[in-house]
């Protein structure tokens, strides 16, 4: 993932600690207020830097936002690429993805909230770019995993790989939101019980049973 696509080279030259402060402050602002209402002054204040400094690193608010989006993508990219290249049974891959979702959504809830804001942002200027940058990697990796499962005899041949990948991603995306976003947390509890957020193994087990019934011969 080429993060330099949306930020200036000067952003790479500052300390890792300062870079993390800016990324976290921007993530918080965009996650809480959305792109249109996010304020550069608020980001500078939260990051304890000057507004002028931010413009040394980013040309505009859009470039800052896209850098944060790329940062969130990169946090999952390595895991998914490793899974795509492994010969493990598809259910083992799904198990690892769900457990990673559970852990990362709780630890990095702001990134998930940002993703939620981004997917519901009423901004046609960015919609196609967001969708492509966020979804093309996972679409490819899940499709490849399903194709590998077919070749290994683990996955039914009568399933369309691309459509199955889409359905899998919808399960994963909803789980992300259910562990991080207030509305989805409450929805999760209403459907499955008030203690569901503390029953990670149960969630994995039930998801695997459901997915196995759909994919396995």
Could you tell me what percentage of the chain is helix, strand and coil, using 3-state DSSP and rounding each to the nearest 5?
80, 0, 20
Query: Which one is predicted more confidently, 63 or 187?
Result: 187
Closest of 79, 134, 139, 138 to residue 111, by C-alpha: 134
Q: Give the residues across from 155 on adjacent strands.
A: 216
User: CB–CB of 94/154 below 8 Å?
Assistant: no
pTM: 0.81
* 34 or 124: which leads in pLDDT: 34
Q: What are the residue ranges spanned by the domains of the chain?
A: 3-215
Least confident of 22-26, 90-94, 128-132: 128-132
Give Cα separations from 188 to 35, 99, 104, 141, 181 (angstroms): 27, 17, 17, 27, 10
Region 121-137 average pLDDT: 71
Lowest mean pLDDT among 25-29, 50-54, 120-124: 120-124
Distance of CA 116 to CAs 97, 135, 181, 194, Å?
19, 13, 8, 22
Instruction: Categorize the per-residue pLDDT at 124 as very low, low, confident or very high, splitting at 50, 70 and 90.
Output: low
Q: What is the pLDDT of residue 87?
A: 83
For residue 172, pLDDT beyond 90: yes
Would you identify the CATH topology of the domain 3-215? Answer: Tetracycline Repressor; domain 2 (1.10.357)
């Amino acid at each position: 993932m080429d993060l330099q696509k949306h930020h200036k080279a000067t952003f790479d030259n500052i300390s890792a600690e300062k870079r993390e402060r800016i990324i976290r402050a921007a993530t918080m602002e965009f996650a809480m207020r959305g792109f249109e209402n996010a304020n550069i002054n608020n980001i500078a204040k939260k990051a304890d830097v000057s507004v002028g400094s931010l413009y040394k690193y980013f040309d505009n608010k859009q470039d800052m936002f896209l850098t944060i989006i790329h940062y969130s993508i990169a946090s999952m990219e390595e895991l998914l690429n490793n899974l795509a290249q492994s010969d493990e049974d598809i259910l083992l891959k799904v198990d690892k993805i769900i457990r990673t979702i559970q852990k990362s959504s709780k630890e990095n809830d702001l990134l998930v909230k940002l993703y939620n804001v981004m997917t519901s942002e009423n901004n046609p200027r960015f919609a196609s770019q967001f969708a492509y940058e966020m979804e093309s990697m996972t679409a490819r990796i899940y499709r490849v995993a399903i194709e590998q499962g077919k070749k290994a005899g683990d996955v039914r041949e009568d399933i369309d790989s691309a459509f199955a990948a889409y359905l899998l991603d919808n399960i994963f995306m909803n789980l992300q939101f259910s562990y991080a976003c207030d509305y989805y947390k409450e929805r999760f509890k209403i459907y499955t019980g008030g203690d569901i957020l503390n029953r990670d193994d149960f969630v994995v087990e039930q998801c695997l049973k459901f997915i196995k019934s759909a994919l396995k011969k």
